[in-house]
Structure 1
């Protein structure tokens, strides 16, 4: 078996969270919304895409936010990303691990953890 790439990451959100997801992932993170396949639309949720990534938000009736598991998102300029998010009122959670990768964390409107990492940095 040979895995060729990661297709998407799915995060959960509570029922009725689509507009909050669109405001956050679409308007604040500047991801474009993808049209879900017709067979999946009735389930709710929404899908987003950016350069080389897809994030799917699915409805979970007994929703609990993912506070440890998270997608790691690479950005061209970490300081610009942090300033952009702070200007949008998003609290930044500093990384205090001491690793050589410049990064920080935020929570989406539902409490799901997201990691932002400087493009070009490496754990090695």
Structure 2
């Protein structure tokens, strides 16, 4: 058996020509802190951000069709998160009800699906 401790990071991708737009979206709209990335270790461009006690890593690759793949993030107030995203014109996707949690997903401007949930 594997004894997991926590999520360290998750990685999403954006088209190469939209990387700077992604940096702006995740810092300005979502409010994440940009952190140092050891660029000399990677052959492609990207950015890293703090997100709670984990990190979001953004890399580049050609755009892919929309998928059900996603990352789920627990938030303190799911309604406030939804209102903030809607005020910024972000696409909201309703999720099926799961007992004990309120949740929805959003599609970032680059086609990545992100679920936000609040435990009840």
- With the shorter chain as reference, the TM-score category is 0.7 to 0.9
Structure 2 equivalent of residue 7 of structure 1:
8
In the alignment, the residues of structure 2 paired with residue 109 and residue 54 of structure 1 have an alpha-carbon distance, to the nearest angstrom, of: 19
Deviation string, structure 1 residues 6-27 (Cα, Å, up to 9, x no partner): 2111111111222211122111
In the alignment, the residues of structure 1 paired with residue 77 and residue 90 of structure 2 have an alpha-carbon distance, to the nearest angstrom, of: 17
Structure 2 residue runs without a partner (length 5+): none
CA contact (8 A) 1:13 1:58 kept: yes
Structure 2 equivalent of residue 81 of structure 1:
81
CA contact (8 A) 2:9 2:56 kept: yes
Q: Structure 1 residues 2-11 or 81-90, which shifts more?
A: 2-11
Q: Structure 1 residues 32-41 or 5-14, which shifts more?
A: 32-41
CA contact (8 A) 2:14 2:110 kept: yes
In the alignment, the residues of structure 1 paired with residue 63 and residue 90 of structure 2 have an alpha-carbon distance, to the nearest angstrom, of: 21
Shift of 1:42: 5.5
Structure 1 moving runs of 4+ over 4 Å: none
Q: Tell me how many residue pairs correspond in the alignment.
A: 118
TM-score by length of 1: 0.84
SS of residue in 2 equivalent to 1:30: coil
Q: CA RMSD in A?
A: 1.8
Structure 1 residue runs without a partner (length 5+): none
> Superposition pairs for residues 24-103 of structure 1, below 5 Å?
24-40=25-41, 43-60=44-61, 62-64=62-64, 67-95=67-95, 97-100=96-99, 101-103=101-103
Deviation string, structure 1 residues 11-51 (Cα, Å, up to 9, x no partner): 11111222211122111111111111031466211111121
SS of residue in 1 equivalent to 2:24: helix
CA contact (8 A) 1:78 1:103 kept: yes
